[in-house]
Structure 1
Amino acid sequence: MLKALLWKEWHEQRWRMALAGVWLMGVTAIGLKIRLVPDSVVLGLVGLPMAVLLPVFAGMGLFAEERQAKTMAFLQVQPARRWQILVAKLGMGWLVFSVPMTVTFAMVLITVGSRELPLTLMWLGFTAVLGFGVVMYFWQILAGLGVKRQETYAVTCAAVLGAWMIEGLLVDEFARGTALEFWVWMINPFALVELLDAWTYRSMTEVWSVVLVQCVIVVGLAWAVWFRFERLRERTS
């Protein structure tokens, strides 16, 4: 049954993946070709906004779109376990935003390579941005799991993003330079991207601490999404 669910999600979501890929590769290629600013600026201006927007774009087509089409209740009464439905949807949503980002990064490596940036730094940047997208994806799925419209899901995602931005500003304002700042900041998804700032001065302990905390958070969020989804009841009318 899982195979059938994956096939269903693929047929429903593949246009999103294609659109995201064409858009992302096109914008990146234009920026790198024109060369009005350094490659690092182009990749930063494209990569981080896409890591914010693409998970939202992918998530809109999972649960909210199903409810808008009034098919969610019928999907849940099919001979499939709840976890199979959840795995199919979350997995396909992850592919919708991660595949375009990965293909675009491969395109950059092939066409530009280390023209201005070391390959190591490019790999680190891609990993950090993709990791940020994954963490935000799970936060937004958890917050918007029960919404009934795609527009509401987008607003919910914006609220989640805004909340983490405010948290980062508050920590920087009131706990600057203290041990508390580091530990409270580590739970923020933006901590993954901030590691790229002054990368050469970062200790491996700091880097792995942030990565480990974010991995634990993703596991916790995945469990929370499953817990909520198991208890959701849909109306058939």
Structure 2
Amino acid sequence: MAEDGTHMALAWGTAPAPQRGPKRAFALEQVLDAALTIADADGLDAVTMPSVASALGLTAMSLYRYVGSKDALVLLLQDHAMGPPPDVIGPGLGWRPGLEAYAAASTAVYRKHPWMLDIPIVGVARTPNNLAWFDAGLGTLAKEALTPEERMAIVLEVSGHARFRASVERGYDDLARTTKRSSTKTATEEARVLREVVDEERLPHLSELLEAGALVSETFDGGRYALDRLLDGVEYHLAKPARTTEDG
């Protein structure tokens, strides 16, 4: 727990400066910039204390004066890559355009830094930029007739949608690079293989979907459709007559 507190102090800029040893040659942000360059080029696994130290011309041991562990480095790196939320996610847009902007901006971050998807979600994020994004999402709903719990659930669901969409896109992009085919050709090949193994009698609904070409449609944006239906549900909920205490 003490180590976790140290991580948070680094993230929030409240960690005390070391009283002993040589003066630090770099600011923490420069360390994170070096780690970000490595992660964007070679993935999260390539981000190690020795690799980041080497990029800065430091020894691995000296890097521990900036961040105390690999866990701390990854925690700070994720928040650094997330960055602050864009101004477009403002309450002035209205709740629905605001949440649409929130989802689009979140997905864009994952597209830019796909290695972030390799970091497991463990509890509630507590670092500055992550919380700023969450606060911005909540702000889009601040004037709506929703309970605090409802606002939180909606923003978490939109965040999850953005992450899932980026994860699916990344999977197809990775497969396309491996097979040296475009994402469209990769999806077409997947559909062909599935049609060969899907039995119409055992899997009638999936078979119908494949025959209709739904897996390779170039005109239907499934991610956008899913987000629209999610927000339709919120809109329907907001349009209902005021609920009584008995109704919940």
TM-score normalised by the chain length of structure 1:
0.40
For the pair shown, the structure with the greater C-alpha radius of gyration is: 2
Query: Scaled by the length of structure 2, what TM-score is found?
Result: 0.38
